[in-house]
Structure 1
């Protein structure tokens, strides 16, 4: 259980590193876009796949987010990562920022999907 807690703590730390790296002007544009997407998704209060869906609900937390972090960290220059590590350590104790725009977008996507399913079922039984 300690390994899992350490892994989760390191994951949180890396998200904050990416959060600060995204704002750094030394990061290339393509890396900023990818990093912004990873950070926004990680900080979003809503998952693309809700956690209540068995097995699939936790795939994003266990596979998608760590893979995104790994790729984003490889795109960012090492000196930027070093500078952002210091900022991340300070920020970890203050809580994570919320990205309500991305959360709202995910709610919108799910709402459209549910509405589409309801319309299909209604047409099928009509």
Structure 2
């Protein structure tokens, strides 16, 4: 039992360390693709927190957003976090899908206001604006 707890603690420490490295890279790298990728998951976590509390977000969209936030924060992954490049990829895909789903139900301005990072990244993720008939 003690070995299992030590292993669980080590796994949790690795996840916290990887998030710390992402945040450090997001703040210290020069502007560009590497910095954008390093900042993506922390920006997504902030967006999830903001949208979860926003009354303009419908319940279904909140469910998708909270699911994505739990997926990112949770210990279960399709690819282990400690793998240098592919570790966070499943998190990025789940968050991207959840944000695209929410974008169909939430006003675009609400999503843009909740995003703390570079606006062009969320704009690209959401895709082109859809014109409403009328």
TM-score, normalised with respect to structure 2: 0.46
TM-score, normalised with respect to structure 1: 0.49
Question: Considering only CA atoms, is the larger Rg found in Structure 1 or Structure 2?
Answer: 1
